[in-house]
Amino acid sequence: MKSLLQRKGMIAALAAVLVVAAATAALAAGGEGHHVDSGVLLKDFLYRCLNFAITLGLLLYFVTKPLRKGLAGRREGIEKALAEAEQARQEAEARFAEYDQKLAKAAGEVDAIYAEIRREGELESKRIVAHAQEMAEKIKAEAKRSAAHEVARARAELQREAAQMAVAIAEDLLKKSFSPQDQDRLVNEYMQKVGELH
């Protein structure tokens, strides 16, 4: 389609050049001031036009081919550059999407790690509190056992001391109130009872 338009444009340009050349030649022929045979003038004009057309045709033939090749190469280069730019843009968008996805995933992982650390911290805090309460209960129970033991030991000590004091007081009372006859009488009564049992 483009080459057809280019050919039509070249033909139109060639026709315009021929018209301008003919007008120039006619003006040049009319301004000479002396009469020249119109047949010779026409032959000269046609010869010049043919000469111009051949020169223009050769020029167009030899110049347009490299020009077309250069323009086609440039067009191909531009198309290639545009295709590469489009491919690079698509790759960049794909990389951006990939990095964006990785970043979102990493943010999610950071949030998950943070939540896990917080949960583990709370669990550790609960474990520490539970262990402290357990130790407090053990210490309380040990203190109660120790206090009960001390109270029992003190009670036993007090009972032993009270018994010793009672014995001492009873001895004193017996020593003061018993006479040697009372002692003999008690020994005899004891001996009789032992003898009855056998």
pLDDT at 107: 85
Res 119 pLDDT > 60: yes
How far apart, in Å, do the first and last CA atoms of the chain sit? 155
pLDDT at 77: 87
Q: Which of 11, 15, 35 is nearest to 23 (CA)?
A: 15
The answer to whether 25 and 45 are in contact (CB under 8 A) is yes
Per-residue confidence band for 43, with pLDDT thresholds at 50, 70 and 90 = confident
DSSP state of 194: H
Q: Which of 44-48, 86-90, 109-113 ranks highest by mean pLDDT?
A: 86-90
CA pair distance 42, 26, nearest whole angstrom: 9
* Mean pLDDT, residues 95-121 taken together: 89
Residue pointed to by tokens 């045709």:
57
Res 139 pLDDT > 70: yes
Res 22 pLDDT > 70: no
pLDDT digits (tens, 9 = 90+) for 71-103: 888 888 899 999 999 999 999 999 999 988 988
User: C-alpha distances in angstroms, 5 versus 8, 11, 13, 67, 163?
Assistant: 5, 10, 12, 16, 141
CA pair distance 174, 181, nearest whole angstrom: 13
Token representation of residue 166: 């009672």
Per-residue exposure over 97-122, b if at least 16 CB sit within 10 Å of its own CB, e if not? eeeeeeeeeeeeeeeeeeeeeeeeee
pLDDT at 91: 94
H or E, element range at 118: helix 38-177
- CB contact set of 29 (below 8 Å; sequence gap of 6+): 36, 41, 45
DSSP state of 31: T
* Mean pLDDT, residues 14-23 taken together: 64
Say what the pTM is.
Answer: 0.34
The answer to whether 52 and 40 are in contact (CB under 8 A) is no
Q: Which of 136-145, 155-164, 169-178 ranks highest by mean pLDDT?
A: 136-145
- Residue-range domain boundaries for the chain: 2-125
* Mean pLDDT, residues 10-37 taken together: 60
pLDDT at 24: 62
